[in-house]
Amino acid sequence: MVTSGCPGSASGINMQKKKQVLKYTVFKIEPGKINYRSDESWMGICATKKGISLLVLPRSTKEEVLELIKSSAGESQIEESPQDFENLRKNIENYFAGKKAEFDYTIDLSRYTPFQSAVFTATRAIPYGETRSYRWVAKKSGNPKGYRAVGQALKINSIPLLVPCHRVIEQNGKIGGFSLGIKWKERLLQLEGVLLT
């Protein structure tokens, strides 16, 4: 049984290996269909020159999201730039309102190993409203027996939704794990119309 899943934040993870300027935005979304706690409505996005590097799933306060962004930036400078994320922000709002949204944005996987990057690339190929098993992702990532390693890679995914780790479940159809808790994974899948067993 694989019990890990994506975190939706980079809490405790220094994402950046070298100093650079990272652009970010923090924004509030309407609770919509996803938030089972109405106080969780602040999100954040951060990007390097290579692409989106962090997406913080809803938290209670703006300060909490900003702190996650700062801690993930390490020694890098952060610069607020909401206009750079306007399109993605709107897609996220639509997603949480229960509308189908595609997250085909450039992402920065430079901090990950080649296997982790392959796992994220395979996971991005899972369509909205569908699920795949950890074994399926392992096979697509070039390591058919590495399904436990897939779980570990997804556990450190800092770009949920763009790398939809919530769509990866166990071979037997059970939901598997999720670092923010099973309730979050269930709600994301239900939002996409996935029937859970």
Mean pLDDT, range 17-45, rounded to an integer: 79
Report the pLDDT value the prediction gives residue 33, as an integer from 0 to 100.
Answer: 59
Task: Give 24's Cβ-side CA count (13 Å radius).
Answer: 26
Same domain, 88 and 133: no
Q: Pick from 110, 114, 93: which is nearest to 159 by CA?
A: 110
Provide the number of structural domains found in the chain: 2
Q: Is 15 exposed, middle or buried (0-12, 13-18, 19+ CB in 10 A)?
A: buried
Residue 107 bridge partners (DSSP): 52
Look at residue 197 and tell me if it is in a domain: no
Same domain, 74 and 123: no
Look at residue 134 and tell me if it is in a domain: yes
Question: Helix, strand or coil for residue 136?
Answer: helix
> In which band, very low, low, confident or very high, does the pLDDT at 51 lie, cut at 50, 70 and 90?
very high
Of all helices (H) and strands (E), which one includes residue 153? helix 147-155
Mean pLDDT, range 133-153, rounded to an integer: 97
Report the pLDDT value the prediction gives residue 41, as an integer from 0 to 100.
Answer: 87
What is the rounded distance in angstroms from the CA atom of residue 34 to the CA atom of residue 95? 9
Look at residue 15 and tell me if it is in a domain: no
In this predicted structure, the answer to whether residue 119 has a pLDDT above a threshold of 90 is yes
Look at residue 3 and tell me if it is in a domain: no
Burial 123-142 (b: 16+ CB within 10 A, else e): bbebeeeebbbbbbbbbbbe
Please count the other Cβ atoms lying within 10 Å of the Cβ belonging to residue 150: 29
Tokens of 172: 């037997």
Tell me the pLDDT tens digit for each residue of 153-190.
999 999 999 999 999 999 999 999 888 889 889 999 99
Same domain, 120 and 90: no
Same domain, 92 and 118: no
For Cα atoms 115, 1, 40, give the angle at the middle one, nearest 5 degrees: 80
Mean pLDDT, range 94-102, rounded to an integer: 90
Same domain, 26 and 63: yes
Backbone angles phi, psi at 62, to 5 degrees: -60, -40
**What residues make up the domain containing 62?**
21-96
- Boundary of a domain, candidates 96, 131, 153: 96
Active site residues: 165
- Boundary of a domain, candidates 61, 96, 131: 96
- What CATH number is given to the structural domain containing 122? 1.10.10.10
Look at residue 10 and tell me if it is in a domain: no
Tokens of 49: 């020159």
Q: Which residue has the higher pLDDT, 97 or 140?
A: 140
Same domain, 92 and 28: yes
Q: Pick from 134, 145, 126: which is nearest to 173 by CA?
A: 134
Mean pLDDT, range 8-16, rounded to an integer: 45
